[in-house]
Structure 1
């Protein structure tokens, strides 16, 4: 069990790392969208390539962050019912869902998308839109994203089994971490406090 828990922690670190930097994909898509709008207004020029790279980045952001979202237990759940069930039933639902639903789904998606992505890469298929981009980079997001999601599912399964065996914490309880909005508010408060403290120190 200790070896499995070590594997689980490694998977958690991997998805935490990916999730931490996936936000830059959203930032990139936002910047490209803004630049595209400015260029179109000022120079009356645009390209389908600008539009496609935006949804390429968006596709990558939510696909590769799926494992991170599962790690943080932010996927949609029927908590209204589940939270009122006994802990053993909650764990049974979690384990059954991970084994019989998440794992087969990810394997089926990988079974179909890996050869298709390889085919796209070998053929160099381009977008049918004028000025469009090559297709394989966006298709690559599917096997990468579902691999990370599958690994995180197995990590969560290991945590559930460890808890049942009395060798780990309860994995059904979300970590008490501040949300993104709360972290932003705290950062703004800290910045405001430092601004007000600076004149006082100068006097």
Structure 2
């Protein structure tokens, strides 16, 4: 088994996981919209407020954006300043993307993972609950999304670096 085939296999496996996760997370958008509509009808139609429902929207929103970061990277929906990048050929783009992933993205993911550990473990230790009366008693679960985001984003960053390394090595062989 060659290094190239191992990289292809890793890229495929990570991409499959990210695709599945991203498509599953996309359903949270519909859930958020429906629940927000329900909250509005309750509040303005019947004069009833629901803190758990409002917090559920916040939890879905946090889940969507934190766990959807890897999917956004995979499909190229992340923010990119491409004044020069758009004019680059595939090889130059692969260099920029590889170096960006190695120099910036992977260290950022490591920093987020390391710096969030105490924050999340403290929340778990005290089983942190909502500050609102009747709120969702699982703030510790919401905070756990931070290191999970760092892990999933780092995995996708590795896939992107491998994908670009394959572009660089395969174009060099031609």
Equivalent residues in 2 for 1:104-183, closer than 5 Å: 104-134=107-137, 135-166=139-170
How much is the aligned-residue C-alpha RMSD, in angstroms? Answer: 1.9
Q: TM-score, normalised by structure 1?
A: 0.76
**Residue pair 2:120, 2:144 contacting (<8 A) in 1 also:** yes
Count of residue pairs the alignment pairs up: 168
CA deviation vs aligned residue, 1:136-166 (integer Å, no higher than 9, x gap): 1211221222211110000010011111111
Larger relative contact order (C-alpha < 8 A, sep ≥ 6)?
2
Matched-pair contact (CA < 8 Å) for 2:91–2:171: no
Return 5+ residue gaps in structure 1 as ranges: 169-203
SS at match of 1:165: helix
Equivalent residue for 1:46?
Answer: 49
Q: What 5-or-longer segments of structure 2 have no aligned partner?
A: none
Question: Does residue 93 in structure 1 map to residue 96 in structure 2?
Answer: yes
The TM-score normalised by the length of structure 2 is: 0.87
Mapped to 2, the partners of 1:7 and 1:50 lie a distance apart of: 39
Give every structure 1 segment of 4 or more consecutive aligned residues whose post-TM-superposition deviation is greater than 6 Å: none
Q: CA deviation at 1:68?
A: 1.0
Query: d(CA) in 2 for partners of 1:140 and 1:29?
Result: 20
For the residue of structure 2 that corresponds to 1:94, the secondary structure is helix
Alignment-derived partner of residue 189 in structure 1 = none
Larger radius of gyration: 1
Q: Which residue of 2 aligns with 1:80?
A: 83
